[in-house]
Homo-oligomer: A and B are copies of this chain.
Amino acid sequence: MSEKIVFTRGVPPPEAFPTGDLGECFDAAVREDANVVLQYGQQQGYPPLRRALAAEYGVEESEVMVGNGSLQLQDLLSAHLITPSGAVFTEQPSYDRAIATFRRRGARTVGIPLEEDGISVEKLEEALEKEVPAFLYLVPDFQNPAGATLSLEKRRRVVELSEEHGFWVVEDIPYRKLRYAGEDLPLLRSFGGSRVVTISSFSKLLSPGIRVGFALGPAGLISALTRLGEYTYLSPVLPTQAAVSEYIERGWLEPNIERLKELYSPRLSTMAEAVRRELPDAQAFIPDGGFFVSVMLPEGANTENLVGRAKDVDLVLTPGSAFFADPLDDEPAAGDRFVRLPFCAVTPEQIDEGVKRLAGLL
């Protein structure tokens, strides 16, 4: 049997974790502020970390909530904003767990086609003529699963539309700081809309196991989410938030991000080259950062039971359909032709071999 190559979840590789430094920060954080860190309370998150995030993003502390990972925050946001028989819009394709969360909280979840420069604004406007969703969920930077980045002009327009029609925009930006080339585009929140919520986490910058995610939004919304969080889990887990705060205070976060970029950047290049070489007929999304390259296979490709046949050659793929919400109108969902290719937790050798195996199946 050949070596198994795993192109599934977007997890960091073990060498990404700053283990010793994090251990030291846990110890220091618990000792230095035990009466806060080890006690009940701080429902809105550990205050020094909220202060650091408020300063970084230029918002008030009342506009920052830190919770047990960003999916938990998305679940609370869904519980708060989704109305019975209401809709949520996402990009099509979108983050599979987000789609599942919105559906579990009762929303019809409608996917608006994604283009190379982000969500199709034309299709979004079309959809808005029929109904206004509780919110539009976007991953504007190095999108999960496709890798697309939303253009400047579209960012501005999406925020305008949210004001005109009265829906929330949720920008989920866990990959934003992992940019390997090019320049940052402004956050959607920087266009000044009153209905933008920014969600992110330290899962891709430090560690997923610590489950430290945060939300930025208007104080009224943050306070409602905080109350919902208190009813759900009483207090957030605090030692992990305090360790992150300590890590940032020591000035270790930026150097760690630089280290991760050096680790991941060559893997992106290798993946991009392999896709161009092995899958020349596929429509490829090659991002400037993040965790994912993706391909839309050509219509004639043999995608019948692709995941199963991949398994037979020791290649593990996520079924593309998992990333697809309900289609807008009668457009067929192209889930069976969509393949997400996470490149961070695989070596350049595994990338070359994996893409070659994929190409051999089509």
Contact = CB atoms under 8 A, between A and B. Distances in A.
Interface of A: 9, 11-12, 14, 17, 19-20, 22-24, 26-28, 30-31, 34-42, 68-69, 71-72, 75, 97, 100-101, 104, 203, 207-211, 231-240, 243
Given A14-B34, A14-B35, A31-B23, A237 B211 contact: yes
Contacts of A22: 30, 38
A27 B20 CA distance: 8
Q: How many copies does the complex hold?
A: 2
Contacts of A207: 38-39
A37 B68 CA distance: 15
A233 B27 contact: no
A9 B68 CA distance: 23
Nearest to A20: B31
A141 B17 CA distance: 42
Contacts of A243: 26, 239
A68 B69 CA distance: 11
A42 B209 CA distance: 9
A242 to B, nearest CB: 9
A231 B69 CA distance: 12
A231 B30 contact: no
A254 B71 CA distance: 36
